[in-house]
Amino acid sequence: MNKRPVIIDTDPGIDDALAIAIALFSDELDVRLITTVAGNVSLKNVTNNTLKLLNFFEKDIPVAVGAAQPLIEPLVDASNVHGASGMEGFDFPEPKTDLLLKDHAVNAMRKVIMESEEPVTLVPIAPMTNIALLLAMYPEVKKNIREIVMMGGSAGRGNKGVMSEFNVATDPEAAKIVFDSGLPIVMAGLDVGWSALVYPQDSEKMLDMGKTGQMAYYLFKRYRGGSFNTGLKMYDSCAMAYLLCPEMFKVEETFVDIELNGEMTRGCTVVDLKGYLKKAPNAKVCTAIDGEKFREWFLESVSRCI
Ligand code: RIB
Ligand code: CA
């Protein structure tokens, strides 16, 4: 069976690192391109981290650099969660700079999509600035995009604002462009990310899984996306889990809009599960996850990595 062509848009980021590893070593996904965007830390750092990861994983995937800032507001990063470099806690090899394309991420995505023999799945696990720019500059790409499977948003409370999730809240205008695009969207938000947990006993098991497991163990010691003892949140791996093991999710088709103007709610994903707004569904929202199934799948996926 053909592997599914995907482009990963990312801001590593400790949870991004594991999501990228799982995608690269899966039998089902063909990672055609990785694009970087400012988010967890600066564009320079997320790009460096991506190139270090590809060197570490021994994978020659082309990388293209994207947006250094959200569309409208300045970047407020998440270095408090991931450390100053974005991947504190492990001594990675040098960045594999020969993987860097000269093209901007938006142009590189357009090229991969338009030249693909089958529709491409976009997997943004970061603020969606690059995706919004792609759709605004080159709307013709829509005809060869299979779907967008994103980590972001929340039907409930937030992790950046009271009601807003980091990726969407960092660039709400970009998220609105994506949700208004008419493309098939799968939203793997905090509603599942908060239950996609890795516990200390899981981290101990990863120590014996080879170098990716060992890397994860030491990164998790530093990661502040939850607590090492009560469970670390593998937000970005939820997007990969949807692609590779969708049966672990409860999914509801509904209308999602992005609040841009709320004084206290800007960046919130308004997930209209009860149809109050009487708008046609524009997204499949993952509203629940089998946490035990996730843990088994996550450990099995990491064990398949280098
Ligand atoms: O809210 C979680 C998201 O924000 C994840 O993608 C994490 O890496 C951060 O970017
Ligand atoms: Ca991320």
The DSSP secondary structure of 251-283, one letter per residue, reads EEEE-EEE--S-TTTTT-EEE-TT-TT-----E
Distant-in-sequence, close-in-space partners of 279: CB < 8 Å, separation ≥ 6: 255, 257, 272
Per residue in 228-279, pLDDT (tens digit) is: 678 899 999 999 999 999 999 999 999 999 999 999 999 999 999 999 999 9
How far apart are the CA of 39 and the centre of ligand 1, in A?
8
pLDDT for 157 equals 97
Cβ neighbours, 10 Å, residue 278? 7
Q: What pLDDT, on a 0 to 100 scale, did the predictor assign at position 20?
A: 98
Q: Is the CB of 151 under 6 A from ligand 1?
A: yes
pLDDT digits (tens, 9 = 90+) for 39-72: 999 999 999 999 999 999 999 999 999 999 999 9
Ligand 1 centroid vs 236 CA: distance in angstroms?
A: 7
C-alpha 86 – ligand 1 centre gap (Å): 11
Q: Which atom of ligand 1 lies at the shortest distance from residue 13's CA?
A: 8
78 lines ligand 1 (CB under 6 A): yes
The CA-atom distances, in angstroms, between 285 and each of 126, 230, 253 are 17, 26, 6
- Per-residue pLDDT band for 184 (boundaries 50, 70, 90) equals very high
Span 135-158, pLDDT tens digits? 999 999 999 999 999 999 999 999
Which listed ligand is nearest to 171 at the C-alpha? 1
Asked whether 106 lines ligand 1 (CB < 6 A), one says no
Residues with CB under 5 A from ligand 2 (ion): 11, 13, 16, 125-126, 236
The packing angle between helices 211-222 and 200-207, to 10°, is 140
Contact 149, 106 (CB under 8 A): no
State yes or no: pLDDT of 81 exceeds 80: no
Give the rounded percent of residues in the chain with a pLDDT score beyond 90: 91
* pLDDT mean over 163-186: 98
Q: How far is the CA of 166 from the centre of ligand 1 (A)?
A: 6
Closest CA to 215 of 55, 51, 56: 56
